Amino acid sequence: MVKADWTIYEEDYRAITSVLKELLKNSNSQSVLLIDKTGQMIASVGLEPDFDLMSFASLCAADFEANSQLAKLIGEKDFSTLYHQGADDSMYLARVAEHIILVVLFNKRTTLGLVRLRVKKAVEGLDSILTQLFNKLEYKNEDLNEFDEEFADELNKEIDSLFSD
């Protein structure tokens, strides 16, 4: 079962947003989001996208989970990063502290190489902050690594509703 009812203390939130703001600035990206494995938004900085962020966060979580299963099929433990390139806009996703997903939205004003370089540094900083936070909350890894059936059903309903007429 995935726990989605955790708390972020004010000092941890400030530390997290500081890392996200630094990443935004140093990568020349448009937006940086931090979501948990259940698709809940933790923090975001930069330009607010003109789409539903809650649905987007759910889809990012589902994307990461689907790619995790694909990794296992080809003999990998996991994919720690994902990259989706569009004609004008792209997104780069990275796993942080095994339970969190960092999403960077960027356009042609920057390069994938710069985003990857800056994300690597940000992941290191966030990993430290989040590990300390999880220790405060006394979470166990086994409680955070599996999706339960109810969550999977709700996620499928959300995805279906996004693409229905």
Which domains can be identified in the chain, with CATH numbers?
10-156 (3.30.450.30)
Sheet containing strand 100-107, edge to edge, reads: 41-46, 31-36, 100-107, 89-96, 81-85
pLDDT band at 152 (very low <50, low <70, confident <90, very high): low
Name the pTM for this structure.
0.78
pLDDT of 97-125, one tens digit each? 878 999 999 999 999 999 999 999 999 99
pLDDT of 34-43, one tens digit each? 999 889 999 9
Torsion, Cα 101 107 109 111, to 10 degrees, reads 60
Spatial distance between the Cα atoms of 65 and 154, rounded to a whole number of angstroms: 14
